[in-house]
């Protein structure tokens, strides 16, 4: 059955590679933008991907999922709905009301800031972060720092795509689970 599972894994990663489209020099020169929209427009592949992500062991011990603005919301909400765990939104500047914790960070193509509602995390201790893509790791590190500042535990990061050449994993002190790796 291990062989069967491995074959299924390869099949999904291969499918994802065929579905993810590259856009060179978007949104800035030198960046190869990985577009996940073709995955979303095929219900079979989208559902296979969400099943795969949701079945990862890391979620079993999680109290909640933190999804990152904006494409992380798509995958995070589908996973949270499937595994029936609370979903928390990490949002860009000036989007969330109420008492917030906020931090600036650098990403592959610019700078930004992420915030969490303090009330959204106060009842939980262990989190899994969900995003569409890991590049330099700056975004995930920002969430790690925000949650750590409130003494929370980060079990890991689950992304659809990992750009391994950028070595984002190196600055992250928690496991990274990616569904397809581009080197």
Minimum distance of ligand AMP from residue 107's CB (angstroms): 4
The answer to whether 108 contacts ligand AMP (rule: CB under 6 A) is yes
Candidates 54, 115, 120, 136: give the one binding ligand AMP (CB under 6 A): 136
- What is the spatial distance between Cα 129 and Cα 27, in angstroms, rounded to a whole number? 24
- How far apart, in whole angstroms, are the C-alpha atoms of residue 174 and residue 183? 20
Candidates 33, 85, 153, 175; binder of ligand AMP (CB under 6 A) is 33
Region 154-173 residues binding ligand AMP, contact defined as CB under 6 A: 168
| Euclidean distance between CA atoms 182 and 177, whole angstroms | 13
Asked if 137 touches ligand AMP (CB under 6 A), the answer is: yes
* CB nearer ligand AMP, residue 31 or residue 101: 31
Nearer to ligand AMP, 48 or 132 (CB): 132
Using CA atoms, how far apart are residues 60 and 54, in angstroms rounded to an integer? 9
- The span of 2-10, 127-135, 143-151, 173-181 binding ligand AMP (CB under 6 A) equals 127-135
Is there binding between residue 76 and ligand AMP (CB under 6 A)?
no
Q: What is the DSSP string of 21-77?
A: EEEET-SSTT-EEEE-HHHHT-HHHHHHHHHHHHT-GGGGG-SEEEEETTHHHHHHH
Residue 6: CB atoms within 10 Å: 10
**Nearest distance from C-beta of residue 179 to ligand AMP, angstroms:** 14
């Amino acid at each position: 059955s291990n062989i069967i599972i491995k074959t299924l894994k390869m099949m999904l990663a291969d499918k994802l590679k065929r579905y993810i489209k590259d856009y060179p020099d978007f949104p800035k020169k030198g960046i190869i933008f990985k577009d996940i929209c073709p995955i979303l427009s095929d219900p079979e592949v989208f559902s296979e991907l969400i099943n795969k992500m949701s079945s990862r062991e890391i979620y079993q011990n999680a109290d909640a999922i933190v999804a990152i603005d904006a494409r992380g919301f798509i995958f995070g909400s589908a996973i949270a709905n499937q595994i029936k765990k609370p979903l928390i939104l990490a949002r860009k500047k000036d989007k969330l009301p109420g008492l917030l914790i906020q931090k600036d960070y650098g990403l592959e193509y610019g700078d930004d800031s992420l915030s969490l509602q303090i009330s959204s995390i106060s009842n939980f201790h262990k989190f899994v972060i969900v995003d569409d893509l890991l590049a330099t790791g700056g975004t995930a590190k920002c969430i790690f720092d925000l949650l750590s500042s409130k003494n929370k535990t980060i079990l890991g990061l689950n992304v659809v795509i990992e750009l391994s050449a950028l070595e984002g994993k190196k600055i992250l002190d928690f496991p990274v689970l990616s569904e397809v790796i581009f080197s």
